[in-house]
Amino acid sequence: MGKYFGTDGFRGEANVDLNVTHAYKVGRFLGYYYGKEHKAKIVIGKDTRRSSYMFEYSLVAGLTASGADAYLLHVTSTPSVSYVVRSEDFDCGIMISASHNPYYDNGIKVINGNGYKLESEIEDMIEEYIDKEVDDLPLATKENIGRTVDHAIGRHRYIGYLMSLATRSFKDVKVGLDCANGSASTIAKGVFDALGARTYTVNNEPDGTNINTNCGSTHIENLQKYVLENGLDIGFAYDGDADRCLAVDDKGGIMDGDKILYLCGKYMKERDELSNNTIVATVMSNLGLFKALDNDGIRYEKTTVGDKYVNECMIQNGYALGGEQSGHIIFRKHATTGDGVLTSLKIMEVMLEKKAKVSELLKDLVIYPQLLVNVKVKSKKDAKTDPDVLKAVEEITAMLGDDGRILVRESGTEPVLRVMVEAKDDETCKNSVYKVVDILKANGHAVE
């Protein structure tokens, strides 16, 4: 990770950690970098946060000042920007979003011309430019100054692409959609309506400050209640920029990314679509997922947390399916990034083709109890390498044996250390996690 760019772009509280000058300079550098040999074309999308408009205008000012043309998708999802970049020959794309974070945060995600997250070496160059006291990049003049182009048609093409992936009509299927008052509000309902579903939507009225507020994939308990109260067949919850999807089955059970990987991976194996018979997951995926995959003869690889790393592993090895417990699921045949709406369409495909409720299709997957506690710390590195913490982790690992595990890792986007334990019962999880948390507090690492 760099000074500004983490595992998922440049993110922080708007006008505190990430301000308009930062955005202007990101635009200036990208316009210059991609415009060295031709007039650069860069497409921009944004989520529904109030500050997204401010950052959009700042980025556009920087891009056009460097001579690039800025194409605006307006409110849209991160995967739609990725799709438009790779399908319409743009030099790169920019998504303005802080994903699942609160409305007052925002972020800048840069997507390269192939639809993947920007290379770290270019991020390093952007950071170097941001910190320069003197702006030494040339300014475009006369006819070389860039222009702004309305490109809402790009989002419409993406919606059409999603519709084309459905294998069956959704007629008479009762589907609930929690759009998190975010990017999915411009996409999801239209797709499901067009495919014939009886669509029920909640949190589909963004006002700039209600994105992710008690809704979406980070507060899925609301969708659970809604699915049961309305007798729905299934429900889908997205995050702020709609690159994640969690689901709720017909019985109100939560389908996190692990369950989605199992459901879709097993289906893809049956259809000979699971490349190298392998699913890519992260170290945070539940032990129950790995045991179930072993039972079904499906191989898996584990990466560090971050869909960026999942994607890298998939590309390097030609794998077709990968994702995170949080709901970033990548279907590499159809997308280069996690795509919440695409994920929900693939779950619908399994359900309809198998002619069974999702709750029935998941009966062989037993998820281990898991407890994750986030501890805000002064220094992630110092806290993680504290000898007392390391000793406690070693003791807990030995105690759990093959029936559980402990993981202590640094957040890629926040000053937080994540302590996670899986075991056969909740009490063991709780005791183990708080053994480490109490040490972090007693040794002065935690920020109250």
Q: Scanning the structure block, which residue is given the tokens 């030995």?
A: 398
Measured CA to CA, the distance from residue 301 to residue 278 in angstroms comes to: 7
Which pair of tokens denotes residue 232?
């729905």
Which pair of tokens denotes residue 283?
């170290």
- What residues form DSSP beta bridges with 279? 300, 321
Measured CA to CA, the distance from residue 375 to residue 411 in angstroms comes to: 10
Using N-to-C axis directions, what is the helix angle for 78-87 and 340-354, rounded to 10°? Answer: 90
Q: Does the annotation mark 99 as catalytic?
A: yes
Find the catalytic residue in 51, 52, 58, 99.
99
Query: Which residues have CB under 8 Å from 218's CB, separation 6+?
Result: 100, 180, 212, 239
- What residues form DSSP beta bridges with 422? 370, 405
Closest listed residue to residue 243, CA positions, set 350, 109, 118 = 109
Binding residues: 99, 239, 241, 243
Please, are residues 202 and 97 in contact by the beta-carbon 8 Å criterion?
Answer: no
DSSP 376: E
DSSP 119: P
Measured CA to CA, the distance from residue 2 to residue 110 in angstroms comes to: 14
Binding residues for Mg(2+): 99, 239, 241, 243
DSSP state string for 228-240: HHTT-SEEEEE-T
Closest listed residue to residue 125, CA positions, set 32, 55, 29 = 29
Residues forming the active site: 99
